[in-house]
């Protein structure tokens, strides 16, 4: 079940759901708008021939109030807000319609697991033929919350737990990359 603004406000007021910092106008009828932080990562394309799922990727870290995403380019960004989900809620990251209509695709692999705590790293792709300029502090995406049928038996405690700023892929840490015993 998708949670309403009334339910979201109750959960936040009780401290069951943490979204910090949060302005009242960020709470929408069935979602919470999140803003863009000033932390960005760009794959350092000049330091490797190709991306490999078994090796750590090299990124160029950028901290700035304004960024331009060139046409057909990919960038990682962070939300300004730190969130902490209880064990019985999941959240879906959705781009804002007004931004999507400009050709900017926003996601974070679909959803946020119950028990996750940290800033959300967003995957941004400019599908347009024109550059897109973004400013830190602007509403960039929204979280849609859903209550699970019961609390997770094993809430999220993975490699991105407690992340701050934009965080690059840690796929090289996956179990498939470990030598067989």
DSSP of 124-143: EEE-SSS-EEEETTSEEEEE
Options 56, 63, 123, 176, the catalytic residue? 123
Res 107 pLDDT > 70: yes
- Mean pLDDT across the stretch 102-113? 86
To the nearest 10°, the Cα dihedral for 69, 167, 51, 53? -150
Instruction: Look at 6-10, 16-20, 60-64, 177-181 and tell me which has the smallest mean pLDDT.
Output: 177-181
The token pair that represents 64 in the structure block: 């700035």
**Integer distance in angstroms from the first to the last C-alpha of the chain?**
43
Q: What is the percent of the chain where pLDDT is above 90?
A: 83
Q: Is the pTM of this model over 0.85?
A: yes
Res 144 pLDDT > 90: yes
User: Of the candidates 82, 90, 63, which has an alpha carbon nearest to the alpha carbon of residue 163?
Assistant: 82
Q: What is the pLDDT of residue 111?
A: 83
* Element of type H or E holding 145: strand 139-147
Report d(CA 19, CA 17) in Å as an integer: 7
- Read off the pLDDT band of 146 (50, 70, 90): very high
Q: What is the pLDDT of residue 110?
A: 67
Q: What is the pLDDT of residue 45?
A: 86
- Read off the pLDDT band of 181 (50, 70, 90): low
**CATH 3.40.50.2000 is the classification of domain 5-167:** no
Q: Is 81 noted as a catalytic residue in this protein?
A: no
Q: Where are the domains of the chain?
A: 5-167
């Amino acid at each position: 079940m998708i949670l309403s603004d009334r339910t979201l406000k109750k959960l936040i007021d009780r401290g069951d759901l943490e979204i910090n910092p949060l302005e009242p106008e960020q709470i929408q009828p069935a979602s919470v708008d999140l803003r863009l932080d000033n932390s960005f990562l760009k794959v350092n394309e000049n330091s490797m021939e190709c991306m490999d799922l078994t090796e750590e990727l090299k990124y160029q870290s950028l901290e700035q109030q304004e960024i331009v995403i060139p046409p057909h380019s990919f960038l990682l960004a962070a939300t300004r807000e730190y969130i902490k989900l209880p064990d019985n809620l999941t959240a879906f990251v959705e781009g804002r319609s007004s931004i999507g209509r400009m050709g900017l695709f926003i996601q974070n692999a679909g959803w946020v697991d119950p028990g996750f705590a940290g800033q959300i790293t967003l995957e941004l792709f400019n599908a347009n033929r024109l550059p897109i300029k973004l400013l830190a502090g602007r509403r960039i995406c929204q979280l849609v919350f859903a209550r699970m049928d019961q609390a997770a038996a094993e809430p999220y405690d993975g490699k991105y737990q407690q992340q701050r700023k934009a965080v690059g892929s840690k796929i090289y840490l996956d179990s498939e990359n470990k030598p067989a015993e």
